[in-house]
Amino acid sequence: MILYITHEDKSKLKRCFLSLRKQIVISIDEVIVNVGYDPANLDEYSSFIVNEELKKIVLKASSGKKSNNIIFCNPNFTDESVRGIIHFANDFTKIDRVIFLADKNKYEEYYELFEEVMFFPTFKKVRILECEQFTNPMVIWVNDIKQTTAVENS
């Protein structure tokens, strides 16, 4: 399982990716509101409660079998909070890798904290076209060409 961390919000994810059904998207603002606090007025105590709730959500999501990945959206994360999330994910969960998900040439100061950096797609909601099998009896394989020319030359 992979944990993606991004500065962007859920709406950007919905615009860029086709199917988020197999991903668990955790929005820090939604968690703060669900716990009963105001995102604009967080003190040390409320931040601790929110962090503990986030740890529970990540731990539960990483141990489940319904999802492939977790996407953690926090537009206000800091160097210290990222280090804490990476440490928690590596030491206490079944998460294999933590990847930074960002726009190209943005938030470059955080690149060094992550194993990998993935950029948002430049095309909006790219779809895979339906493919049909194509069989052509006139196809000549490269291996066949080398063998026939070697036989003809001898």
Q: Tens digit of pLDDT for each residue in 27-66?
A: 998 999 999 998 888 888 988 999 999 999 998 888 877 7
pLDDT at 78: 86
Three-state DSSP class for 69?
strand
Overall average pLDDT of the 141-147 stretch:
54
Mean pLDDT (the chain, rounded)? 78
Q: Tens digits of per-residue pLDDT, 83-110?
A: 999 999 888 888 888 888 888 888 888 8
Task: Confirm whether 84 is domain-assigned.
Answer: yes
At residue 128, the pLDDT reads 31
Q: What is the mean pLDDT of residues 120-133?
A: 52
Q: How confident is the model at residue 143 (pLDDT cuts 50, 70, 90)?
A: low
Q: Domain for residue 142, yes or no? A: no
Q: Is the pLDDT of residue 134 over 50?
A: no
Amino acid 56: pLDDT: 92
CATH number at residue 60: 3.40.50.300
Calpha distance 123→87 (Å, rounded): 33
Task: Examine the pLDDT at 126 and tell me if it is beyond 50.
Answer: no
Q: Is 7:103 a contact under the CB 8 Å cutoff?
A: no
Overall size of the chain counted in residues: 154
| Distance (Å) of CA 144 to CA 106, 138, 149 | 51, 12, 9
Residue 140 lies in a domain: no
91 in any annotated domain: yes
In degrees and rounded to multiples of 5, residue 6 shows phi and psi of -140, 155
Q: Partners of 117 in the beta sheet?
A: 100
Residue 137 pLDDT level (bands cut at 50, 70, 90) = low
Mean pLDDT in residue range 126-139: 44
Q: Is residue 74 part of a domain?
A: yes
Domain total of the chain:
1
Domain housing 103: 2-126
